[in-house]
Structure 1
């Protein structure tokens, strides 16, 4: 029997995530490369692995209904893989069942293969639309619980998203967008590359950012501009929040001689730092664009992340430093980017297993760190200068609450309307912060608040 390399690769990724807490977005490309899996087989393996990991909560509820005993972990992972094919892919039922049973026979043994065959046939007896009312809580009495199972998100994340959206109306659309495979978005760093160059390599211009391009297929690492770090993979909202920081007018009374000084406090792995470094050097263009001539200091507390920043920037000074214990003098920077450590709930569509690993108990600890970092950022900026507080999470406890608490404790800062510096996008909320959403903008759920340091 010929080996089904795509399904074997997907199964091995799922097992590694389940057994060793591996990261699928790091492991799968390596497996595909090492095993020489390309083209349609690579696309199939990617959909199988990522789609299965996104849908674990729903598939586990269905598997539990279809068996009277808990499967062994390796068999359970194969059943999840089969359930995804049966319920979410256009794979004929006989093929989904047969290939999964063959996989169990190959990887586990003939006895478990018979068990898997029986369970998969029960799963195949209904569509996903028929299964959801059976396995999910009643939508009328427990709407959050129903959405959690129907859309494969932990209950606490669904509840947090509902609070951030301010109601239920958009919630199903957001959860669906989290489960959709995102486009690969590239950034052409100004002065070093261009969207036109990326178009010539097969990309199409982005919707919002003047530096964005979408790559619908292919390996971005094979694009010359990306290989040379003149361009990179970067979500469009991530590009725009960095660009917004450069657009805020400064009070020039205390401007440093010799050009502006910028700080990226938590710069690793370097996406925003790479764009800021290019804008600082060459300018942003356009009537309200920064003209260039600034100098960027990029810092990260972890050496390996700081090294990634050093590899992706050109003129920036890069150091390993803890933002809560600054290695720089206070009040010397004109602009400070604080992309704060967070739960990453805004990027669940890019990290398929992340939703099942996140723990709500981490919110409080992260909140304390976020407050300390934002206070340190305000200390680092000069009077009249600005701070961009950014999280890749819409959770209120990591966004508006953090900003409100820090401003309430200090009398030397004010919040500006961030939306005024993002004219390309609408639907960013009621302000003064700006909130991007996957279902509205096709981007990660990136949050931006802009604070100005007041004069004494």
Structure 2
């Protein structure tokens, strides 16, 4: 990333005014914003994806300055483990937390950005002088000059364990992931070169992926707004740059930001034949903040328009004009859904004509679901103590609470925030939720168990434990309902990967309720 226009800001960090007094450095707004976010993440567990956009907006930081602040923030948070190892090697004492966060920003510029070393050192020293003090600035100057004396490739063999003696420890430092996460990923992928590819993919900045909710928007509309068509999902589009909120369809909730794997696991649920007559009833059991519920709501109402015949697509898309804006409850009322539409081009294409109930245990998350759906009923309910009767639903999506290890590309600080000790409690909750989901299915119905984590203790182990205690459920081969995607594993579940598919590491298991 080019940083012309920022590189000279602040000089070398040691200038003096014409009167011989140390000059007061000018405030570098991009670097100060990045520093404030990194400090907030470190100090009070703030979420970078929520705080950074607000700071940029409040401070009027736009264009190249906003791009610089974004790269500094997310790049620094991704590389903390590596940068801390290098900082420790270059320091004669433990830096105070506020100084350490500034050093991390400087290390990222020196080791991973195309910022000239003198500019990376100078602007960071100026930031420390302005925000912390002169003494800390001298210390930062000395440490950063040592860091800049070697490239990242030269530092890794010095600060990381020998790969022959400790391969997991080496990968953890070299690729900036906690050791326990590297071990968990290796348990799934095995000790192969693919593990390093996954860790590299976690450290790459992802494209923004959009979903065109069927019957309400289209990929063509998103392309007209500057997006590119997705690779797998018929409703996906990639936005290379820019604010997705400025796209009309997104602003009107006819489209949204949603990872492509997240779209596909919801779509797979709708493709499984469940039999029965009449209108289907669906449940999104842990629906907040509403991404999957928004897609399911559209498909339930208008059908899988990408998988239906032209005639059926016309009946579905005609129910809502593109001119109608967003609405929930009080918004536009869609026309009759194409119940019983026929002519599916592919097996399992849902023709529309279902009702969706979306539930979440937290009111504020249920409120977000209400705001993003059009026709769904939304309730605040604890899925482990359901308010519905057993045997009620035809299809259930259980996007279970999990560690989120599959989304480290988009939430880089999560890798340092998560604790492996919490997996046991999450596993208990996941088992209870999957059990109540199966209870809520009618015979012949299907539940999609989904986690945004590939950790075995949250995926295969949970499904296996629940099935071992029941005689009324069977696991389907989820890959059969995702024929457009290769590399999903040996089955019967489907596992997405950042390095294979360019998506989050989403896990999907499909379970059918037997008589």
Give the RMSD, CA atoms, in angstroms: 0.7
Residue 453 of structure 1 corresponds to 513
Q: Secondary structure at the match of 1:262?
A: strand
Q: Secondary structure at the match of 1:402?
A: helix
Report the alpha carbon displacement of residue 332 of structure 1 after superposing the two structures with TM.
1.1
Q: Secondary structure at the match of 1:170?
A: helix
| Larger of the two Rg values belongs to structure | 2
- Give yes or no for the alignment of 1:292 onto 2:352: yes
Q: Flag structure 1 segments of 5+ consecutive residues without an equivalent.
A: none
Residue 127 of structure 1 corresponds to 151
TM normalised by structure 1 equals 0.98
Q: How does 1:213-292 map to 2 (within 5 A)?
A: 213-252=237-276, 255=277, 257=278, 259-285=279-305, 286=307, 287-288=345-346, 289-292=349-352
Residue 410 of structure 2 corresponds to 350
Q: How does 1:195-206 map to 2 (within 5 A)?
A: 195-206=219-230
Provide runs of 4+ in structure 1 moved above 2 Å.
166-169
Residue 180 of structure 1 corresponds to 204
Q: Secondary structure at the match of 2:466?
A: helix
Residue 330 of structure 2 corresponds to none
- Give yes or no for the alignment of 1:407 onto 2:467: yes
Report the alpha carbon displacement of residue 43 of structure 1 after superposing the two structures with TM.
0.5
Query: Is contact 2:449-2:508 (8 Å) kept?
Result: yes
Residue 156 of structure 1 corresponds to 180
Q: Secondary structure at the match of 1:218?
A: coil
Report the alpha carbon displacement of residue 169 of structure 1 after superposing the two structures with TM.
2.6
Give the Cα–Cα distance (whole angstroms) in 1 for the partners of residues 477 and 230 of structure 2: 24
TM normalised by structure 2 equals 0.87
Give the Cα–Cα distance (whole angstroms) in 2 for the partners of residues 83 and 45 of structure 1: 15
Residue 379 of structure 1 corresponds to 439
Q: How many residues align?
A: 451
Give the Cα–Cα distance (whole angstroms) in 2 for the partners of residues 33 and 366 of structure 1: 36
Give the Cα–Cα distance (whole angstroms) in 1 for the partners of residues 429 and 375 of structure 2: 29
- Give yes or no for the alignment of 1:59 onto 2:71: no
Report the alpha carbon displacement of residue 3 of structure 1 after superposing the two structures with TM.
2.1
Give the Cα–Cα distance (whole angstroms) in 2 for the partners of residues 146 and 279 of structure 1: 46
Report the alpha carbon displacement of residue 2 of structure 1 after superposing the two structures with TM.
3.5
Report the alpha carbon displacement of residue 437 of structure 1 after superposing the two structures with TM.
0.0
Q: Secondary structure at the match of 1:101?
A: helix
Q: Secondary structure at the match of 1:319?
A: strand
Q: How does 1:83-102 map to 2 (within 5 A)?
A: 83-102=107-126
Give the Cα–Cα distance (whole angstroms) in 1 for the partners of residues 182 and 368 of structure 2: 33
Report the alpha carbon displacement of residue 279 of structure 1 after superposing the two structures with TM.
0.1
Query: Is contact 2:27-2:127 (8 Å) kept?
Result: no
Residue 21 of structure 2 corresponds to none
Report the alpha carbon displacement of residue 168 of structure 1 after superposing the two structures with TM.
2.3
Residue 363 of structure 1 corresponds to 423
| 1:142 aligns with one of 147, 162, 166 | 166
- Give yes or no for the alignment of 1:165 onto 2:189: yes
Give the Cα–Cα distance (whole angstroms) in 2 for the partners of residues 325 and 20 of structure 1: 32
- Give yes or no for the alignment of 1:430 onto 2:503: no
What are the superposed Cα offsets for residues 340-382 of structure 1, whole Å, 9 maximum, x if unpaired? 0000000001001100000000110000000000000000010
Give the Cα–Cα distance (whole angstroms) in 1 for the partners of residues 67 and 412 of structure 2: 15
Report the alpha carbon displacement of residue 81 of structure 1 after superposing the two structures with TM.
0.3
Residue 306 of structure 1 corresponds to 366
Report the alpha carbon displacement of residue 251 of structure 1 after superposing the two structures with TM.
3.0
Report the alpha carbon displacement of residue 23 of structure 1 after superposing the two structures with TM.
0.5
